[in-house]
Amino acid sequence: MIVAPAPSASWNRFAPAPRPLAAALLALLAALMLIGVIGGGDGARVAGAGAGSMRAESGLIGDHALYANVLHRVEAGESYYTAVAAEHRANDYPLKPFMTVRLPTLMMIVATIGVPAAMALGLLAGVVAVSTWRQRIRSEPGLPRYASLAALFIAVNLSQLTERAWVLMHEAVTGALIALALALYRPARPWAPMAVAGVAVAIRETALPVAMLFGLFALIDRDWRAAAGWAALGLAFLAVLAAHIAALAAVTVPTDLASPGWSGLGGWATYVAFVHETSILRFTPMWTAALLVPLALLGWASWRSRLGLAGLGVQLIYALLLMLFARPDNFYWGMLIAPTLFIGLAFAPAAVTALIRALGPGRLHPAAMPN
């Protein structure tokens, strides 16, 4: 017969796992680790800025230099779209299609308040995200005390916000906002995460899947007010995007470069490489990410709660997008989810322990239990 899990383990979705499920999950965990170790060692899956990349002051290169140059022109009074088109064109960056050019939101904020204030604001968002996550985990019923270490995992993966170059990187700022939106997410209180998600989407449109997931949950819950709010956010985004497309079309010419497209199809090893490059694990060998990323996802999957489900959904959506569409030079997309991915490590030890125990004698499928 199955021994019911103790109340303290009720949060762990895998505590009552039947033996076949436990075996399948452990096999999948091992397979993903192996694929990551074997496939991520050649270094070709990430294409960072090199010696031939564009440069700016203070040693900035690549995209950092691009955004710094655009910022200087906007601060000098030039229109954002004129400035961004000139810099893209001068440095062989594509201007087509419209997704190749960032929305003007972040650049206009930084140009208005200045880089030091923008750094302080970004750092504040990170600190609030870490603090909110710590409080949220401590208040969740049944979680082990050590789960609050998840806040530390967030903090170290938001450390880029302390550097000037990274406050100009849209993905770094958006990743902090996604972390905060998740921490604030409660079905009964949708407005705070809705506001944060709205800011994230206005800075980087790749944050839209988070808002869509929250909106889907509102529909499932039949919370029509919240669903209407998320729908309104989506409509507002479409209006902003239409204005962006029109403004960009006014400054482009037929000879401007076009993007090679987004069909990287790099698979699991590329996703792991992106996380390695954009998280604190970049200071460690690649195999550390190959081992820890699957464990983090397993930890997320074990957390039986709406927040756990939302966090897992966000991680899986972006993992799929990175595996299918990202090119090697899109590795910075990993910043969108690196701050929150490793929250799952706080739950991984209990998840693995439960699955290993499920392989022992006496653990049957619930349908096989005697009456």
pLDDT on residue 144: 81
Cβ–Cβ under 8 Å, residues 290 and 353: no
Give the integer Cα–Cα distance in Å for 214 and 314.
10
Q: Does residue 13 sit within a domain?
A: no
Q: Position of tokens 């490793």?
A: 342
Q: Does residue 2 sit within a domain?
A: no
Q: Does residue 5 sit within a domain?
A: no
pLDDT on residue 57: 65
Q: Does residue 10 sit within a domain?
A: no
Q: Position of tokens 């790099």?
A: 266
pLDDT on residue 58: 62
pLDDT on residue 6: 42
Q: Does residue 68 sit within a domain?
A: yes
Give the integer Cα–Cα distance in Å for 79 and 113.
17
For residue 260, give its domain range. Answer: 19-362
pLDDT on residue 363: 54
Mean of pLDDT values over 104-132: 94
Per-residue pLDDT tens digits for 161-217: 888 888 899 999 999 999 999 999 999 999 999 999 999 999 999 999 999 999 999
Give the integer Cα–Cα distance in Å for 159 and 280.
8
Q: Does residue 8 sit within a domain?
A: no
Backbone angles phi, psi at 303, to 5 degrees: -80, 105
pLDDT on residue 108: 96
Q: In total, how many domains does the chain have? A: 1
| pLDDT band for position 2 (cuts 50, 70, 90) | very low
Q: Which of 50, 71, 74 is nearest to 62 (CA)?
A: 50
| pLDDT band for position 1 (cuts 50, 70, 90) | very low
Tell me if the pTM is above 0.85.
Answer: yes
Q: Does residue 9 sit within a domain?
A: no
Mean pLDDT over the full length of the chain: 89
Write down the H helix ranges in the chain. 19-39, 62-75, 80-90, 105-113, 115-139, 150-156, 164-167, 170-184, 191-203, 208-220, 224-249, 267-278, 286-302, 306-325, 338-341, 348-358
Q: Does residue 7 sit within a domain?
A: no
Cβ–Cβ under 8 Å, residues 94 and 257: yes
- Whether 124 has a pLDDT exceeding 70, the answer reads yes
